[in-house]
Structures are given as C-alpha cells and as structure tokens.
Structure 1
Amino acid sequence: MAEIRIHRDHALGLKKARDIAWKWAEQVEEKFDMECTVLEGETSDTVEFTRPGVSGELIVAPDHFELVAQLGFLLGAFKKTIEDEIKKELDSLLAASSKKPPDKKKPA
C-alpha cells in the first residue's frame, strides 16, 4: 500500500485553517468523489476522507496541516500524480488565504 504524507506550515490560526480545510474537503468531494467527515476539536480538527482505493486524514492545526493518505494497490501506481494534485489544491488554497485585499482609499 502506497502512502502519501504532506506537511504545510502556516500562520493562519485555527479558525482560518479550518475554513481552508473545509474548502479543501468540498473540492476533493466534488473533484475526486471523496467522502469527507470533519471532526472538530478544541485545539485541532481532523478531516477524514475516503473512497474506494484511498483513505486518509488531514490534521488541521493552528500552525500547520498534516495530510496522510493510504492508496490501494491500483492507485499506488499513480502516487506521484495524486500527491502532486493534492499539493496543488492545498497550496492554492493557502496562497489565496494569504493574499490581503487591496487598501480602499476614500476619495478626497
């Protein structure tokens, strides 16, 4: 069984990290037909995800994300492609959250 491990540090705090994790869960549910369950905690959350041939969890902490996924035999052959896609989706959400809206100046 192939395993994917992805770690991403951030400085978002739990509330914003939670928002990103929920967006990520919605995306993988739609795009990859995953079934996601969010388990909220006081200091971190866990997003469990599964579909035939894949299972894993995304730990959502105030300062990092930690994703671990197990791929079945057939999907193990596509580990690199799947890992790259997960990284792309997560990095895209992190990048979008770190952009600050432009300052709105009042007309003089």
Structure 2
Amino acid sequence: MASIDIRRPHSLSQSEAHAVIDKVAARMREKFEVKTQWLDGTLAFERPGISGKIAIGGDEIRVSAQLGMLFSPLKGMIEQEIRRKLDEHFA
C-alpha cells in the first residue's frame, strides 16, 4: 500500500480555503465517484482503493492518502495531479 503526504502553504482565510476545498471535493465526487465528509476542518474522502484527508490549517493545506494495490503503481501520476491542483488553487 502506497501513501501520499503533500503539504502546501496558503494565505487564505479558513472560510476561503474551505470554499476552495468544497469546490475540489465536488469535482472529485463527479469525476471519480469519491465519497466525502467534513469532520471539523478536515475533508475525508474515500472510494474503493483510495482513502485520505484534506486538512485545512491556518497557513497550510495537507493532503494525505492511502492507495490500495490497484492505485499504488499510479502514485507518481496521482501526486503530480494533486500538486497541480494545489498550485492552481493555492499558489
């Protein structure tokens, strides 16, 4: 099982960062059939083969995920896409 742990600084307010993550989560649900749920300041997401969290800190966004056997070989590509989306929304 492969894991992903990416941290990205941000300068948005909590509510602005929350709104951005909500937008990203809606796209994840639509495109990848991911189930999401907010628990305090953390968005948990899950689908067969992938589970993880997007945590909003005061000055940092942290994405962590566990990839099952099917997705482990795609770890590099998945990390690249996460980094691209974080740059797009939090640069």
Give structure 1 stretches of 5+ with no counterpart.
96-108
Read off the aligned partner of 2:2 and give its amino acid letter: A
> Following TM superposition, by how much is the alpha carbon of 1:28 offset from its aligned partner in structure 2, in angstroms?
1.2
| Native 8 Å contact 1:5 1:67 kept in 2 | yes
Pairing 1:65-84 to 2, within 5 Å after superposition: 65-84=61-80
SS in 1 for 2:78: helix
For the residue of structure 1 that corresponds to 2:44, the secondary structure is strand
Is 2:52 aligned against 1:56? yes
What runs of 5+ residues in structure 2 fail to find an aligned partner?
none
Question: Which structure dedicates a bigger proportion of its chain to strand?
Answer: 2
Higher RCO (C-alpha 8 Å, min separation 6):
2
1:61 offset after TM fit, Å?
1.6
Identity %: 38
Q: Distance in 2 between matches of 1:56 and 1:75?
A: 13
CA RMSD of aligned residues (A): 1.1
Matched position secondary structure for 2:71: helix
> Structure 2: how far apart are the matches of 1:9 and 1:34?
25
Secondary structure (helix, strand or coil) at the match of 1:19 reads helix
Partner SS, residue 3 of structure 1: strand
State yes or no: 1:20 paired with 2:16: no
Which residue number corresponds to residue 34 of structure 1? 34
Runs of 4+ in 1 over 4 A off after TM superposition: none
The number of residue pairs the alignment matches comes to 91
Higher Cα radius of gyration: 1
